Amino acid sequence: MAEKQNYETIKIERKDGITWVILNRPEKRNAMSPQMHMEMDQALDDLAVDPATRVLVLTGAGKAFCAGQDIALFFRGTEDDPAARFRARRASNQWRWQKLSTFPKATIAMVNGFCFGGGFTQVCACDFAIAADDTVFGLSEVNWGILPGGIVGWNVTQTLNYRDALYYALTGDTFDGKKAQEIGFVNFSVPRAKLRAATIALANKMMAKNPAAVRYTKEAIRAVRFMNEPQAHDYLIAKGDALRFNDKEKGREAGMRQFLDDKTYKPGLGEFKRRKPA
């Protein structure tokens, strides 16, 4: 699929079902400018309905994943322009949280280097996160005399335990990929030389699964966190019905048939044999 836009601050590469979305201001450590927010906001809409995109990987060009909001262009540059500030802020939150966390295919943050401040939001929004061991993470806002705004403060309390969220937000101390794995900020951390291969392996694992089941599962797991028990119970029943209705592969029926009638597979040990969607 040809890009509808000629992006300047991001790069999009597709290969074997994986779409690599690369924040592309390496000379500024991929700090997020208003233009980058607008471009990502547009790109995620296009990729959400792009059949060639089966898994999305978000990463950064050069030695950084993302150095947070661009202090010059996002903050100082919109200081005297409330309309520009409004547009940049809205696009920023839309792509980094609303659009990325509800993206209809699996998403992986491949954290390839420096990740600071506002860059935490997109790590939290992705379904999975894999870091290079030598990545430097930091909630550096306190060092600027500001707080983790946007929705970083909220994101970290959702993803980290309360003690760690407070500790790193208050001290501004940095931590590496191994520590990020230990505190559950990323799924795992690997030596830099293995980062891409580990990401591709996880993407391949997700692509082998029934896409409707993946989509509905991620939507369900994310949504129930903010519900009480009766709401979650009702929602999950309705969501399961919606999955059955919308699953072109009819995975539930195939799984039951193969387990109960054909006795050709054991669901605890792997995926049922998928048939191609009609």
**By the rule CB under 6 A, 150 interacts with ligand COA:** no
How far is the C-alpha of 23 from the C-alpha of 7, rounded, in Å?
10
Q: Which residue in the set 116, 120, 128, 216 belongs to the binding site for ligand COA (CB under 6 A)?
A: 116
Using an 8 Å Cβ cutoff, are 36 and 66 in contact? no
**By the rule CB under 6 A, 61 interacts with ligand COA:** no
Provide the angle, in degrees to the nearest 10, between the axes of the packed helices 162-171 and 152-159: 140
Q: Which stretch in 25-33, 53-61, 184-192, 259-267 sits in contact with ligand COA by CB under 6 A?
A: 25-33
Q: How many residues bind ligand COA (CB under 6 A)?
A: 17
Taking CB under 6 A as the criterion, which residues in 62-91 touch ligand COA? 64, 67-72
- Look-up of token digits 């030596």: 191
If one counts every other C-beta atom within 10 angstroms of the C-beta of residue 52, the result is 12
How far is the C-alpha of 24 from the C-alpha of 9, rounded, in Å?
5
CA distances from 124 to 11, 209, 243 (A): 21, 23, 25
Q: Which is nearer to ligand COA, 28 or 54 (CB)?
A: 28
**By the rule CB under 6 A, 103 interacts with ligand COA:** no
**By the rule CB under 6 A, 140 interacts with ligand COA:** yes
**By the rule CB under 6 A, 9 interacts with ligand COA:** no
Under the rule (CB under 6 A), what is the footprint of ligand COA? Answer: 28-29, 31, 64, 67-72, 114, 116-118, 140-141, 144
